[in-house]
Structure 1
Amino acid sequence: MADILVKINIKNADCRNIYFVNNDNLFGGKEITKAPTYLNRDYKLVLRITSINISGIRTQTKKTFSFSKQITFLQALREVSSKREDLLKKLKTCTHKEEKIRIPTLEQAWSEYVELKKGKLASNTLNSYITAANKWILSNQKLSKSPITEITTKQLQDIVNHMLELGVAPRTSKTIKDILRPLFKPYTQRGVIKSNPAAFIEIPKFDNQVDVELEDSKIKELYDLLYSYPTEPFRSIFVWLSHGRRLNEVLSLEWRDINLEASTYTIRYENNKVRKPMTYKLSDELKETLENLGIKKSGYIFHAMKDESKKMSKATLRLHWEKILDRLGVHIRIHDLRHLIGGVLVSEGKTLEQIASILGHTSTSVTKRYSKVRQEVAAEGLDEFFKRVKK
């Protein structure tokens, strides 16, 4: 079945001969006259060219370009328009036929995928993917050296099954599918392989919901231990974590991310999961931590103990977290502080707007609806949270 194409005709943009593949009727009408700010799926643009070649023959061709939903519509449009003159030249000289498709090995495809995802995935996420790939996938030399056209679902399923036999949690084994599915996807789209072998990997069902339940007395004791921790900069880090931030977000903070005049701080896009800069209000507690540490103009706020040019490692902080847990008598993860905040706020009847703003959770609808008031509602929600858990 032929693709359904919609002409792009956006004012002040180079849209000549460029069409949007509209098979799911994402856009109504015959033309797209305004660039969408966000697309909720991957998409394709088609460049259609007609020219007279050197033999005087009228020649027509089209080329399809695939884009991830993380690429803005205007960025994709600029990329396609930049290819137009090159394609016209090839048409006129009869050199427009596609070159022979290169078939990479799985190892080569993985290296290219990692390069592509640098700057698009959070660094800690990408590092965890690399670690998992090296341990479970690329360690199989026969598989890693095989062309991607010869990789089968059974081979990939065998990896997952082996992990499960070793007692690896289903949640962890799912990482293999999370890694490989997007790796094979562009080769499927370009017709190099007929179907994505990773798409059919079967993972046992598991409950991905993390419930952390502590009695109010224990939550208050925990926050008292965090806020009275005797050693800096670890006490200050605990204070930042208690505001709903992820550990990597806190350790990646630099002084340039702090705006004391506006009383805000920003988690840069490369340091959070939503891949967008997120700005929050500085509470009085956070301002106090900055003053205690001694405000500087540059560098990491929480730097490594022996090298201020590097951020503190997670392992360094976890030693102090274990001391907190020993006194508390309860085993929870650092990340569970976020779940505690969410659980308490839900029980208090706080809105999704407040909870999503505090924790930095977002979807398209939440981002569009509440982006202008995120700082205010997050600050209000945290005030209510601290009234309940702090002595």
Structure 2
Amino acid sequence: MAKGDGSITQRGRGSWRVRISAGFEPTTGKRRYVTATVRGTKADARRERDRLRAEVEGGLKVDAQNVTLSEFIPIWADAKRTSGKIMEETLKGYLSVLKHAEELLGGVPLRKIDAPMVEAVCADVRAKGLSGTTSHNVHMLLKSVFNKACDYGYATRNPCNKVDSPKANEPDRRSLTPQEASRLLDRLDESEEKAYRELADKERRMLDRGKAFGRSYVKGVSSVSQTMAVRIGLATGARLSEVLALQWRCVDLESGQVSICRALKKDGALKEPKTAAGTCTASVDRKTVGHLARWKSRQAAELAKFGIRQTPETPVCCSTTGGFINISNFERWWRSFRDGNGFEGLRFHELRHTQATLLLGSGVDVKTVQARLGHADASITLNWYAHAMPGNDRQAADLLAAIMEHPEKAARTA
């Protein structure tokens, strides 16, 4: 055996100790070793020695050879947090998905996890009756974990690279037809007028009781705000968290534009967009501008009744106390509103799908739709909404024929 190849020592019948030199301890200067016990033949011990030597030469940390998947996942999660590229809610979801992998492989050292083990995890997810999307996400996240483990020297290869990613389910992208969208607007008009009437009735009752002033809330304000949130979502394609984060400084009534620049988290805090594309400005129609102008004036009067002055920082869709609406409270109201108006199961996010589908289906260019939705790249818009593009193949064929038949005309118009 060549010097530096490592040593194999028999410890008993069918038992061998393999030891590989792994350089020197930087602080003490003492030599470090990687050791392993092998049960089997001497040939088995040689194979283990060669594998350990390859791992050490490949950058595996000496003190990381027995770090398990469950021990490393928190290290991976901390790296994600430090990057600042992921929200805590999203990371919590990722960690929940990775629990499926930990059930089978949590106690296994990273260096011992191979492709068949990863495939077994994906198969186990499907055997539980979970979706192809869940299986796909488990594979995707495991791959990310192992990429970071390789970066940190806790593993020398990514076993997920040798496993075909499970196919995700086709996303459920329901969108309203033009007729359904029109009917939703009609229901919103009715709900908004009803909310205004109820707001006035509640105020009259408060006056009769002598309680109109000196209080810390206005009943009925949130009802108008909730209908306004749906109207804004349908007009701009903004996400619910973005709509509920809107402040009056983001709304330009003169130009008819709404700027989407922040989002409201479940805990009530505001968060900045992850990318520059996440900040976008969308023009809204004149009818929506009219509803917003009316509400701005009425909201200012109602908030003034309990000593709050409307400012550019005031939420457009406010609670009874003039603050941001709680997302969970809005979602409860939305379920009641949609189911009571013939839109059972419609998710708020599908208002976003509705806008993209209707615009692309009507021939609006992809870049314009991309900008309105705040997608970082037009390819994202195309990947999600290519099905909505109008079929222009026949028009393209006819145009090509016209160009070839009349090249001089085509040259003049080029």
Report if TM-score (shorter chain) is over 0.5: yes
Shift of 1:363: 1.6
Once the two structures are superposed, the pairs formed by residues 161-310 of structure 1 within 5 Å of their partners are 161-189=123-151, 192-206=154-168, 208=170, 210-212=172-174, 214-229=176-191, 230=195, 231-242=223-234, 243-253=236-246, 264-268=258-262, 270-272=271-273, 274=275, 276-281=277-282, 283=284, 285=288, 287-288=292-293, 291-294=297-300, 295-296=310-311, 298=313, 308=323
Partner of 1:129: 94
Unaligned runs of 5+ residues in structure 1 are 1-96, 368-391
Q: Which one of the candidate residues 361, 369, 373 is aligned to 1:359?
A: 373
Shift in CA distance, 264/337, structure 1 to aligned 2, threshold 3 Å: closer
Give 3-state SS (helix, strand or coil) of 2:224's partner: coil
Shift of 1:259: 7.4
Shift of 1:215: 3.8
Shift in CA distance, 123/325, structure 1 to aligned 2, threshold 3 Å: farther
> How far apart, CA to CA, are the structure 1 residues paired with 2:141 and 2:173?
26
Shift of 1:280: 1.0
Q: Which one of the candidate residues 77, 92, 113 is aligned to 1:114?
A: 77
> How far apart, CA to CA, are the structure 2 residues paired with 1:159 and 1:305?
49
What is the one-letter code of the residue matched to 2:114? Answer: T
Partner of 1:376: none
* Worse overlay, 265-274 or 171-180: 265-274
Shift in CA distance, 163/335, structure 1 to aligned 2, threshold 3 Å: same
Aligned residues: 267
Unaligned runs of 5+ residues in structure 2 are 1-58, 196-222, 264-270, 301-309, 382-414
Shift in CA distance, 342/365, structure 1 to aligned 2, threshold 3 Å: closer
> How far apart, CA to CA, are the structure 2 residues paired with 1:130 and 1:251?
27
With the length of structure 2 as denominator, give the TM-score of the two structures: 0.53
- Whether contact under 8 Å (1:249, 1:271) holds in the other structure is no
Shift of 1:306: 8.6
> How far apart, CA to CA, are the structure 2 residues paired with 1:276 and 1:145?
41
- Whether contact under 8 Å (2:60, 2:154) holds in the other structure is no
Give 3-state SS (helix, strand or coil) of 1:233's partner: helix
Shift of 1:173: 2.4
- Whether contact under 8 Å (1:105, 1:146) holds in the other structure is yes
> How far apart, CA to CA, are the structure 2 residues paired with 1:261 and 1:220?
25
Shift of 1:157: 2.9
What's the CA shift string for 1:352-386, capped at 9, x where partnerless?
1111111112328899xxxxxxxxxxxxxxxxxxx
What is the one-letter code of the residue matched to 2:355? Answer: I
What is the one-letter code of the residue matched to 1:148? Answer: L
Partner of 2:341: 327
Give 3-state SS (helix, strand or coil) of 2:259's partner: strand
Report % sequence identity: 19
- Whether contact under 8 Å (1:302, 1:312) holds in the other structure is no
What's the CA shift string for 1:2-53, capped at 9, x where partnerless?
xxxxxxxxxxxxxxxxxxxxxxxxxxxxxxxxxxxxxxxxxxxxxxxxxxxx
Shift in CA distance, 240/150, structure 1 to aligned 2, threshold 3 Å: farther
> How far apart, CA to CA, are the structure 2 residues paired with 1:297 and 1:307?
13
Once the two structures are superposed, the pairs formed by residues 78-117 of structure 1 within 5 Å of their partners are 100=62, 102=64, 104-117=67-80
Partner of 1:6: none
Give 3-state SS (helix, strand or coil) of 2:98's partner: helix
Shift in CA distance, 204/181, structure 1 to aligned 2, threshold 3 Å: closer
Shift in CA distance, 275/125, structure 1 to aligned 2, threshold 3 Å: farther
Once the two structures are superposed, the pairs formed by residues 44-55 of structure 1 within 5 Å of their partners are none
- Whether contact under 8 Å (1:171, 1:206) holds in the other structure is yes
- Whether contact under 8 Å (1:105, 1:145) holds in the other structure is yes
Partner of 1:63: none
* Worse overlay, 196-205 or 250-259: 250-259
Shift of 1:348: 1.0
Greater helix content? 2
1:147 equivalent in alignment to 2:77: no
> How far apart, CA to CA, are the structure 2 residues paired with 1:177 and 1:169?
13
Give 3-state SS (helix, strand or coil) of 1:361's partner: coil
- Whether contact under 8 Å (1:121, 1:275) holds in the other structure is no
Shift of 1:220: 0.8
Partner of 1:57: none
Shift in CA distance, 248/109, structure 1 to aligned 2, threshold 3 Å: farther
Shift of 1:334: 1.8
> How far apart, CA to CA, are the structure 1 residues paired with 2:343 and 2:92?
32
What is the one-letter code of the residue matched to 1:339? Answer: H
Shift of 1:167: 2.2
Shift of 1:133: 2.9
Q: What is the CA RMSD across the aligned residues, in angstroms? A: 3.9
- Whether contact under 8 Å (2:69, 2:105) holds in the other structure is yes
Shift in CA distance, 365/178, structure 1 to aligned 2, threshold 3 Å: closer
- Whether contact under 8 Å (2:280, 2:374) holds in the other structure is no
- Whether contact under 8 Å (2:73, 2:145) holds in the other structure is yes
Shift of 1:233: 2.3
> How far apart, CA to CA, are the structure 2 residues paired with 1:213 and 1:324?
14
> How far apart, CA to CA, are the structure 2 residues paired with 1:105 and 1:214?
48
Shift of 1:338: 1.4
With the length of structure 1 as denominator, give the TM-score of the two structures: 0.56
Shift in CA distance, 170/271, structure 1 to aligned 2, threshold 3 Å: farther
> How far apart, CA to CA, are the structure 1 residues paired with 2:115 and 2:148?
17
Shift of 1:278: 0.8
1:344 equivalent in alignment to 2:344: no
Shift of 1:126: 2.4
